[in-house]
Structure 1
Amino acid sequence: MSENTSPVLDIRDLKISYGDDSGRTRVVHDVSFSVAPGEVVALVGESGSGKTSTAQAVIGLLSGNGRVDGGSIRLNGEEISRWNEKRLRSIRGAVVSLIPQDPSSSLNPVLTIGTQVREILEIHGRLSRAEADRRVIELLTQVGLSQPELRARQYPHELSGGMKQRVLIAIAIALKPALIIADEPTSALDVTVQRRILDLIDDLRREYGTSVLLVTHDLGVAADRSDRLVVLQDGRIQEQGATADVLAAPRSAYTRKLLSDAPSLATAAIRPPVEEARPAIVAVEGLTLNFVLPTGGNFRAVDGISFKVPRGTTHAIVGESGSGKTTTIRTIAGFQRPTDGVIRVGDFDLAALKAATPRQFRRKVQLVYQNPWGSLDPRQTIFSIVEEPLLNFEPLPKEERADRVRAIIERVGLPSPVLTRRPHALSGGQRQRVAIARSLVLEPEVVVLDEAVSALDVTVQAQILALLGELQRDLGLTYIFVSHDLAVVRQIADTVSVLHNGRQVDYGPVAQVFASPASDYTRELIDAIPGRKFPHQIHHHLQTAGSTP
């Protein structure tokens, strides 16, 4: 850290509100903290905690109905909270930069990468065109992009998510700002890509002495990467202090709850092994699936995968984007036909499914998607959404259908009044409970969960995982659980297949795969699980203080 002790960022008694037709709602209440030169401060909290609003206020990017109602924001000692847009533009990029959350929506799809990086240099008018072009290549090289000259000529859709995030980092560091605000910079990325991006931010911080305000809901990431923690809930600071101190002895009940719910910090949570005698309800043998390319030829998305899932257990399929895991489960769920191999689910052989039998098969296997925002029809009431599978697959009298819907909504822990509401009136966790209820209303034997908790905050995620465990015990369900997050897999699964480039590189009981991975790729995935910097403090706290506030 720099010898200069004056804070780069100093926020005092910050108040923020948003307005609508019914008036203004305060979302940030008297928040105060500072960021020293070269320091990483993590702003931690769930959705709605006020962390993103606080970060946006610093850089003057609150949405149109947002307003700073009071308090002070000092950047390098200068009060900026009342600056107009023109003055704020003069410091964005030069003094303070933002690395946004979603790399896919943060780059202009019709401009090349080079043009978008060069733009920040041209806005501040510091370089000639030729000098700016050279600087663009230097920046793309610095953030670790291969073939930087090629990348500069490409468009965003030609780059992976990790590559796009590196471009956003190149833009953020172009003018060597004093402060970088990283707003959930890795939440949309695979775990190994996440680690590389966070390593890159660390390296650049050490090189330039830049301060970082890291906005995250992931306490594991915050534990590994920050010097100090500021924990927000409902727009108020619950506690703040040195990261090691907060993790060792959290004073706030909310912080203790975040700690206990974070899968990456629960290293002892591997489930006990399943008895060997259980019969397999799902058997996959030599599954291969090719796609025909528009240019001719085939692309092999899945290559010879085999595994078995005993009845009443959870099998996880793990891998990064492009590993073949979603293709595998879509084939198991009967949405795609395999090129080769055998898939048996109960009494069904998927290769032999006739036109009349898919309806019977659909009742046996149900799918829960990743995004509860996109998988529920916004025009329907919750009752209609959950009732729909019964209308499609199981003709029942109206009253009996209503009874089934009410019973399953109660079973997933939702109050009956939600049945008359529409999805927009529910929280993310409530929507995912509705999606689970819809999948269970036909009383299936196998439920396939495609990244079903990855879009949820850590405490909501913990609630959904606990619900899935309870439903499995009570109803004898079998789960196939797709995830890129080994920390969650360690917590919920009995067995696991690790996929890489369409091939299965590891398979077996979770405890065995974690203890003795068969492939370097699996080892890399395990090593990339965040929350390893202070394991002794965290686990001592969890064991001695317990997870109950």
Structure 2
Amino acid sequence: MSLLEVRDLAVSYDGRRAVEGVSFTVEPGEVVAVVGESGSGKSTTAHAIIGLLPGNAAVESGRVLLGDADLATWSQRRLRTVRGARVGLVPQDPSTSLDPVKTVGAQIGEVLRLHGRRDRREVRARVLDLLARVGLPDPETRARQYPHELSGGMRQRVLIAIAIALGPSLIIADEPTSALDATVQRRILDLLDDLRAESGTAVLLVTHDLGVAAGRSDHLVVMKDGGIVEQGRTSEVLAAPRAEYTRRLLADAPALSARPFRDPPAADEPAVVVRDLVREFRVGRRPFRAVDGVSFEVARGTTHALVGESGSGKTTTARTVVRFARPTSGTVTVTGAPDGRGFRRHVQLVHQNPYGSLDPRQTVGEIVEEPLRNFGAGDRATRRARVADLVERVALPEDVLTRRPRELSGGQRQRVAIARALAAGPELLVLDEAVSALDVTVQAQILDLLDGLQRELGLTYLFISHDLAVVRQISHTVSVMNEGRIVETGTTRQVFTDPRHPYTRELLAAIPEPVR
């Protein structure tokens, strides 16, 4: 008998079908990965299994068999006896999944107390054991800390500790590493593998990253538009995918694609020169040096990537280049950029999150036109013609001009952000994690768009990313940052094929790849 069997599951939101006809099984000790883009129904399927759908959603039909029990027919009160005890959940975002006003130890202990553990000493001992088991150093100190005092990777480990506290036979991990740096992602996935090997726990891994699924799963379920388009042994699906959609996911996954390196063309002069850059922040009475003696050059018409984990100093460096922050010492020279207000016409920034960087009250047409109005470029008719051209250039349909950001997908919003950045005719674009929040297929489309715009307009890019698989695909040259310093720099080919620094080798080793 399978540990979990989902049969013909159908789920609707406000009467609209979001999942239909979904069937798969999870065997004891097996890792099953459910992959697909946003809106494919993968998270809805996972949440339906344990009755955690939002109030406007309902299971319309189908069965969710955990052993002999059909969870689809159970009340919320009865489902609470299963959650944690037999099925553990590791949610996607630790920043919103943990209570900010309770200590880490109290939150793990709460799970134990809800399921009948009353002895305070026993609960405390179990909490410390769990924190140690998920690899957190100094469990006694961590137990007394609040979530904001821990890094993203540490918070995710706390969520795993909560999920395994009662020894469940199945863990549902819903995008457990999507917000994490590559090295932290690898450690979290290694931890789940270790726990599975130790206790025989099965894992249902929900992810949009086919690279992660390829290296970590036994069985693959590919979802699109609320249904399953393909499933089977992971190795077999990867070797001979039957569905066109699966083949597209494979081609778009940066970690699995084998695109050639982009060798830098010969350039007469650099577009950006950074020399001995230092940027300090005041933390209490002592200065904190976020950027420490950074130097690099970006050749005109090429893409230079700054890579590193969170806290490495790459975003602070980028903000200094675009003059959103002043250097404590050192120099940043952008060739040809005037001082004052004209600098913004020459240098533009594309933010990571198009949800937050676009004004929700404006139409797309107004958003893209705004830089033109600010710089007094042309009359109204000229500006509107320019806006229409920009929207077409980033491959958006004309009808988006009258729509607002909330009516667009994430990939469409990022295209709007790029069109806005191009409006003033800049020569340098600084892209700060501009594709990290996107599904792999949308990510590939944006990277292709940036490549085409660079070839067509001669743009120079400073590309900030923690994802080396993406950097390999888009950049000509790379600087690797760690703790505020550049530890290695060179052409992308050199850095990827012959890394010299141990930190670079660690980053490269963290790129997901098929291992099963």
* TM range, smaller chain: over 0.9
The answer to whether the Cα contact below 8 Å between 1:365 and 1:448 also exists between their aligned partners in 2 is yes
Match of 2:459 in 1: 477
The answer to whether the Cα contact below 8 Å between 2:354 and 2:410 also exists between their aligned partners in 1 is yes
Unmatched tracts of structure 2, length 5 or more: none
Shift of 1:275: 3.1
Match of 1:68 in 2: 59
Q: 1:258 aligns with which of 228, 249, 261?
A: 249
Match of 1:323 in 2: 312
- Corresponding pairs, count: 516
Describe how 1:415-454 pairs up with structure 2 within 5 A.
Answer: 415-454=397-436
Name the aligned partner's letter for residue 10 of structure 1: E
Q: 1:345 aligns with which of 327, 330, 334?
A: 334
Aligned partner of residue 450 in structure 2, secondary structure = helix
Unmatched tracts of structure 1, length 5 or more: 1-5, 535-549
Aligned partner of residue 92 in structure 2, secondary structure = coil
Once the two structures are superposed, residues 106-153 of structure 1 have per-residue CA deviations (whole angstroms, 9 ceiling, x without a partner) of 000000000000001000003511100110000000000011001100
- Partner Cα distance (2:340, 2:37) in 1: 41
The answer to whether the Cα contact below 8 Å between 2:480 and 2:504 also exists between their aligned partners in 1 is yes
Q: What is the root-mean-square deviation of aligned Cα atoms in Å? A: 1.0
The answer to whether the aligner puts 1:172 opposite 2:163 as a matched pair is yes
- Partner Cα distance (1:292, 1:130) in 2: 41
The answer to whether the aligner puts 1:196 opposite 2:187 as a matched pair is yes
Shift of 1:347: 3.1
- Partner Cα distance (2:187, 2:300) in 1: 38
Describe how 1:109-188 pairs up with structure 2 within 5 A.
Answer: 109-188=100-179
Match of 2:12 in 1: 17
Match of 2:292 in 1: 303
Shift of 1:532: 3.8
Q: 1:499 aligns with which of 442, 465, 481?
A: 481
- Partner Cα distance (2:131, 2:123) in 1: 12
The answer to whether the aligner puts 1:287 opposite 2:269 as a matched pair is no
Match of 1:275 in 2: 265
- Partner Cα distance (2:24, 2:368) in 1: 46
Match of 2:345 in 1: 363
Distance 1:471 1:268, change over 3 A: closer
Shift of 1:425: 0.5
Distance 1:277 1:411, change over 3 A: closer
- Partner Cα distance (1:82, 1:524) in 2: 47
Match of 2:215 in 1: 224
- Partner Cα distance (2:280, 2:63) in 1: 59
Once the two structures are superposed, residues 273-311 of structure 1 have per-residue CA deviations (whole angstroms, 9 ceiling, x without a partner) of 223443211111111111122x21211110111111111
Name the aligned partner's letter for residue 8 of structure 2: D
- Partner Cα distance (1:243, 1:223) in 2: 7
- Partner Cα distance (2:107, 2:469) in 1: 36
Aligned partner of residue 94 in structure 2, secondary structure = coil
Shift of 1:76: 1.8
Match of 2:92 in 1: 101
- Partner Cα distance (1:465, 1:489) in 2: 10
- Partner Cα distance (2:514, 2:204) in 1: 20
Name the aligned partner's letter for residue 527 of structure 1: A
Once the two structures are superposed, residues 425-477 of structure 1 have per-residue CA deviations (whole angstroms, 9 ceiling, x without a partner) of 01111100000000000010000000000111110000000000000000000
Match of 1:458 in 2: 440
Name the aligned partner's letter for residue 286 of structure 1: D
The answer to whether the Cα contact below 8 Å between 2:105 and 2:142 also exists between their aligned partners in 1 is yes
Q: 1:239 aligns with which of 227, 230, 239?
A: 230
Shift of 1:177: 0.3
TM-score, normalising length from structure 1?
Answer: 0.93
- Partner Cα distance (1:531, 1:420) in 2: 42
Name the aligned partner's letter for residue 246 of structure 1: V
The answer to whether the Cα contact below 8 Å between 2:90 and 2:159 also exists between their aligned partners in 1 is yes
TM-score, normalising length from structure 2?
Answer: 0.99
Shift of 1:321: 0.4
The answer to whether the Cα contact below 8 Å between 1:289 and 1:339 also exists between their aligned partners in 2 is yes
Aligned partner of residue 367 in structure 1, secondary structure = strand
The answer to whether the Cα contact below 8 Å between 1:8 and 1:77 also exists between their aligned partners in 2 is no
Q: Name which of structure 1's ranges 125-134 and 452-461 shifts more when overlaid on structure 2.
A: 125-134
Match of 1:490 in 2: 472
- Partner Cα distance (1:394, 1:312) in 2: 27
Match of 2:202 in 1: 211
- Partner Cα distance (2:387, 2:415) in 1: 13
Q: What is the percent sequence identity of the aligned residues?
A: 63
Match of 1:333 in 2: 322
The answer to whether the aligner puts 1:514 opposite 2:500 as a matched pair is no
